Amino acid sequence: MRFLYEDESFSFETLRTAGFAGYGGADLGEVVATARTIGEGDEEAWLREWKRTAERVHAIGSRALAAGHRVSAREALLRASNYYRTAEFYRRDDPAHDPEVKLLSTLSRETFATAAALMDTPVEAVRIPYEDTTLPGYLFLVDDSGTPRPTVVFTSGFDSTLEEAYFALAAAALRRGYHVLAYDGPGQGAALREQGLVFRPDWEAVVTPVVDYALTRAEIDPDRLVLFGYSLGGYLAARAAAHEHRLAALILDDGLFDYHAAHTQVMPPFLREWIEAGRDDLADPVAGLLMSAGTQLRWALRNGVWAFGATSVADYVRRTAAYTLEGVAQLIDCPTLILDAENDQFFRGQPQRVQAALTCPHTLITLTEAEGAGEHCHMGAMSRFHQVTFDWLDTTLAPTPTPAS
C-alpha cells in the first residue's frame, strides 16, 4: 500500500506518523501539507520539513499553555512530539555524535513530557533499576484510585521510542481499563541516545527487572501482568517470556522468530557467505552499493549499526544471528497472541514460525490489506489492531467461571 509516496520507506513512515492521529499524535492535514513539500527519497528535505512542522505545532502548544488552554496545549504538544520523532528518523550518518539527532530526540521527549502532565489520566515518569543504571519509563494509569488493574508492559522495537508507546498502545489500553508500563530498553529511545546502551539478544535480562519494578507498584495486579512486543519487540518480548514466568499473557506485534534470517533471506548468497566468513573487506563495499539503491535498506542497515553497537554493516548482520527463538520458544508458558501483517515483507513467514514453535496456548491472527491493516505493525489501522488485541486480551484474562455445585 502506498501512502503519498512511491518510495516504500517514505510511504510507510508517513503512514506511521499519520496513523497516530486517532490518539492525538497527528492531524491528517498537517501530514499531507508536510509531505507535499518533501520529494521522493529526499532525506534532507524530510528532516527539514518535518522539523519545521514540529516547531510550528510546538509553538502553538506553548502559546496555548501560557494562555491557560490546557486541552489545546496537550493536543498540540502530542503532535509535535510525534513530528519531532519523524523528523529525526532518517538522520543516520553518525547519529551517536550528531547534534541534530540529539536536538530532535530531546524535543520529542520534552514535548511529550509536557503533554503528559496535562492528560486527564495520571502519567508518571519512572526510572526502572537495570544493572548498574536505570531505564526511562512511563506508567500510564487509568485513574488515581490505586485499584490494582491488569497492566501491559510495552516493549518497543528496532527504532521506536518510549513516547511512541502512548500512541501505539497506551491510549487504547487506558480506554479499556488497562494500565501500561512502557520503557526504553537498550538500543531504544533515550536508553540509546542518552545512555549509549545497545541491543542485547537475552532480553530476559531487561524484562525481569521491569517486571520486578512493576510488582512493587500497588496499582498493578500481579496476576494480570501482560508483556507486549512491538516490531522487533516481537522477538524481544517472546525471548523474555521464555524465561520470565510471572506473566499472564504475551502479545507479539508482530511475531518474529529469527531476526537474522529476515536479513539474510534478501541477500545474494555470495554476500551472506562473505559476512559469515568475516570477509568485511569484501562484504561492506557490496553492502554500500545495495544501500545506495533504496531508502529502506540504507536506513535499516545504518540504524542497525548504531543501535546494535556494531562497527560495520557486516558486523551488524553477524550480531543479529543471536536473535532467534530457536530452542527457547517452547519455554513460553503463558497464553500468547501472535499478530501477522499481510503485506509485511521483512517479517514474511515469521509469525507462522513462531506459531509452529510454541507449545503454550496461542492464537495467530493475520490482519489484511483489504481492511487497511496489512502493513508492518498494522500502521494506518490502529483502531482495528487495538480491537483485535484487546478483545483477545479481555477474553484471555477473564476469570474462569466456577462450576455450580
Does 11 qualify as catalytic in the annotation? no
Helices 233-241 and 350-357: crossing angle in degrees, nearest 10, is 10
Which cell numbers in the block locate residue 108? 520529542
What is the helix (H) or strand (E) element at residue 285, kind and residue range?
A: helix 280-291
| CA pair distance 294, 329, nearest whole angstrom | 34
Joined together, the cell numbers standing for residue 383 give: 483502531
Question: Which three three-digit cell numbers place residue 328?
Answer: 527457547
Sequence-distant (6+) residues with CB within 8 A of 405 are: none
**Residue 253 and residue 237: Cα distance in Å, rounded?**
10
Instruction: Say which residue the cell 510511504 belongs to.
Output: 11
Q: How many CB atoms within 10 Å of residue 233?
A: 27
Q: Taking Cα atoms as reference points, which of 182, 12, 1 lies closest to residue 89?
A: 12
What's CA 168's distance to the chain center, in Å? Answer: 8
How many CA atoms does the CB half-sphere of 398 hold within 13 Å? Answer: 10
Alpha carbon of residue 342 to chain centroid: 19
The residue to which cell 546494535 is assigned: 308
Comparing CA positions, the residue from 58, 12, 9, 54 lying closest to residue 33 is 54
Grid coordinates given for 151: 497492566
176 touches 390 (CB < 8 A): yes
Say how far apart CA 138 and CA 141 lie, in whole Å: 9
Neighbours of 166 (CB within 10 A): 29
CB atoms under 10 Å from CB of 403, counted, come to 5
Q: Which of 231, 292, 312, 405 is catalytic?
A: 231
To which H or E segment does residue 296 belong? Answer: helix 295-307
**Active-site amino acid positions:** 231
